Amino acid sequence: MGCRVGNVENENIEIELLLKAIYMKYGYDFRNYSRASVKRRIKEVLGKSDLETISEVQHKILNDRVFFSVMLRHMSINVTEMFRDPSYYRILREKILPELSCLPYIKRWHAGCYSGEEVYSMAILLKEEGLYYKTMIYATDFDKEILEKAKRAIFPVENLKSYTNNYKKAGGLESFADYYFCKYEYALLDKSLKENILFSNHNLVTDGVFCEVDMIICRNVLIYFNRDLQNQVFKLFSDSLCKNGFLCLGSKETVRLSIHSKDFKDLVKEEKIYRKA
């Protein structure tokens, strides 16, 4: 039997063994994720199951792939909505897209795209600025099932109010309602938004350079990684960006604590937008 809540030392050992088991069995590596975040997500799995200990979770995931798929949902970084942080999108519209417009072709990488809200927000922004026709958007995540959901571009109707408010604050030029139609309790985004998006499986922890791009968007992902893993990912981003390419992080993230800080210049400090040196 494993430990119950209260024996912190034993609990930490159980977590180490669980993460090692996940990596050895399925190839997903969460060992360098922030320990506080990992522990919280494992506790969520415990709370929604009939299991009592982390050791029981380990036994279950090793022998039940369906249960592992459920656990993978909890381990995924899934805080997202369309036009989240509207000021960031306004800055992109006003300061970044005008520079990208000079390129004959634009390649963007959304790393850790989860269910696609941020990707489709960017597609709308590019359409309104007349750049979508010459842009390829690569949207990646390590969870294949989540990527399938993202490809469908279907969202709950109850989300539309916040999406619409965010869109307006982000400087939207049209009516947000022009980009979707409702069917029962869901909203389906216009098919034209998917034309230049390639969804693909990629794991920031274990995979290498995805492609050479002009812009990388990876917001609110690195806060869940420890410092060593952040350094690894910043090296990956530096290697993946063209010279003078843009790197966009979340509001609580920074490249300035990384050993690769010198690879990037501050462009818009308040929105954590950098440029490859």
* pLDDT, tens only, 207-266: 988 789 999 999 999 999 999 999 999 999 999 999 999 999 999 999 999 999 999 999
Which residue blocks in 34-116 are alpha helix, DSSP H? 35-47, 54-63, 65-75, 86-91, 97-100
Beta strands in the chain (DSSP E): 106-111, 135-141, 154-156, 180-183, 186-189, 197-201, 213-218, 241-249, 264-268, 273-276
The encoded tokens of residue 35 equal 């320990």
Q: What is the pLDDT of residue 57?
A: 94
> Domain-by-domain residue ranges, the chain?
8-75, 86-276
In angstroms, what is the C-alpha Rg of the chain? 20
Domain 86-276 has CATH 3.50.90.10: no
Tens of pLDDT, residue by residue over 62-95, are 999 999 998 988 887 666 899 999 999 999 999 9
Tens of pLDDT, residue by residue over 107-119, are 999 999 999 999 9
Q: What is the pLDDT of residue 9?
A: 85
Closest CA to 113 of 141, 88, 72: 141
Measured CA to CA, the distance from residue 238 to residue 227 in angstroms comes to: 16
The pTM is what?
0.89
Identify the band that residue 195 occupies on the pLDDT scale cut at 50, 70 and 90.
very high
Task: Provide the residue type at 8 as one letter.
Answer: V
